[in-house]
Amino acid sequence: MRFLKVPAANAEIEVSRIVLGTTYFGTKIPEDKSYAIIDRYAELGGNTIDTARVYGDWEDNGNAASERVCGNWLRGLGKDRSKFILATKGGHYRIRSRNVSRVNPEDIKTDIELSLENLNTHIDIYFLHRDNPQMPVENIMPVFDEYIRSGDIRAIGASNWKRERIDEANRFCRENGLQPFTVSEIQWSLARLDEANLALAFGGDPTLCGMEAGEYEKYTAGDLPVFCFTSIAWGFFGKYISGKGTMPSESIRKACETPENFRRMEIVRRWSEKTGLSPITLSVAYLTGHRIPAAALVGCSRAEQLDELMAAPDYIPDPEFYHEIAAGS
Structural domain that includes position 184: 3-327
Per the structure, the count of domains in the chain is: 1
Query: Which pLDDT tens digit goes with each residue over 71-97?
Result: 999 988 766 888 999 999 999 998 777
pLDDT surpassing 80 at residue 56: yes
Q: Report the distance separating Cα 178 and Cα 13, nearest Å.
A: 18
What is the average pLDDT value for the chain, to the nearest integer?
A: 94
The 10s digit of each residue's pLDDT in 136-157 is 999 999 999 999 999 999 999 9
Residue 81 belongs to domain with CATH number: 3.20.20.100
What is residue 79's predicted lDDT score, i.e. its pLDDT? 64
| Mean pLDDT across 290-317 | 94
Q: Give the 3-state secondary structure of the chain.
A: CCEEEEECCCCEEEEECEEEECCCECCCECHHHHHHHHHHHHHCCCCEEECCCCCCCCCCCCCCHHHHHHHHHHHCCHHHHHHCEEEEEECCCCCCCCCCCCCCHHHHHHHHHHHHHHHCCCEEEEEECCCCCCCCHHHHHHHHHHHHHHCCEEEEEEECCCHHHHHHHHHHHHHHCCCCEEEEEEECCCCCCCHHHHHHHCCCCCCCCECCHHHHHHHHCCCCCEEEECCCHHHHHHHHHHCCCCCCCHHHHHHHCCHHHHHHHHHHHHHHHHHCCCHHHHHHHHHHCCCCCEEEEECCCCHHHHHHHHCHHHCCCCHHHHHHHHHCC
Q: Is the pLDDT of residue 328 over 80?
A: no
Is residue 59 scored above 70 in pLDDT? no
> Is it the case that residue 257 has pLDDT exceeding 70?
yes
Give the pTM.
0.95
How do 12-16 and 3-7 pair as beta strands? antiparallel
Return d(Cα 2, Cα 4) in angstroms, integer: 7
CA–CA–CA angle 169, 130, 70 (5° rounding): 110
The pLDDT value given to residue 22: 97
User: Confidence class of residue 57 from pLDDT cuts 50, 70 and 90?
Assistant: confident
